[in-house]
Amino acid sequence: MSQQMPYPSYPSYGYDMYQSTQFPYGMPQQQQQQQQLAPMQPSGTFIPGTPVTPGQMLVEESYIENILRLNRGKVITVYQTFENNSQWNAKIFRGVLETAGRDHIILSDPQTGKRYLLLMVNTDYITADEELNYVPPSLPIGMR
């Protein structure tokens, strides 16, 4: 009976391998101590089971859903295409950004009161008539 080799431990989602105490395949670690970062999911919530100690910085990655959430209440235009649709291959939706999630955007049309739940998978690009709020992600110390 052959002996199975253990799988290497890969960094989990949102985990910064440059800040870890273990590296896959036993790669050497830098000796300099850096400020630790607490990983967050794209939705802006903590990754369950991740311990947060005093002095840790909270890091949120730059995802479309997070950028959209920073701009709730602004009027945006969402350009979408739909494959294999004989009635309409492309559509444009304009309205007030209510919220956004990992796979969707919710717009409301102030003139009709109608709300649209749009899938991100169909979204090609988004425009806004005013400046968008955006917080660029910061790189860990030593990666700048």
**Could you tell me the residue ranges of all domains in the chain?**
8-61, 64-128
Both tokens of 23, joined, read 């590296």
Mean pLDDT of the 70-75 span: 96
Distance in angstroms (rounded) separating the CA atoms of residues 96 and 106: 9
Mean pLDDT of the 130-139 span: 85
Residue 70 in this model has a pLDDT that exceeds 50: yes
Residue 138 in this model has a pLDDT that exceeds 80: no
- What is the per-residue pLDDT across 23-43, written as a single tens digit (0 to 9) for each? 444 444 444 444 455 555 555
Mean pLDDT of the 38-64 span: 59
pTM of the model: 0.57
CATH number of 64-128: 2.30.30.100
C-alpha 44 chain-centroid distance: 8
Q: Phi and psi (nearest 5°) for 124?
A: -90, -50
Q: Phi and psi (nearest 5°) for 121?
A: -60, -25
| Pairing outcome for strands 37-38 and 57-58 | parallel
- What is the per-residue pLDDT across 76-128, written as a single tens digit (0 to 9) for each? 999 999 999 888 899 999 999 999 999 999 999 999 999 999 999 999 999 99
Higher pLDDT, 74 or 33: 74
Comparing C-alpha atoms, which of 80, 74, 66, 129 is closest to residue 107? 74
Residue 45: pLDDT band by 50, 70, 90 thresholds? low
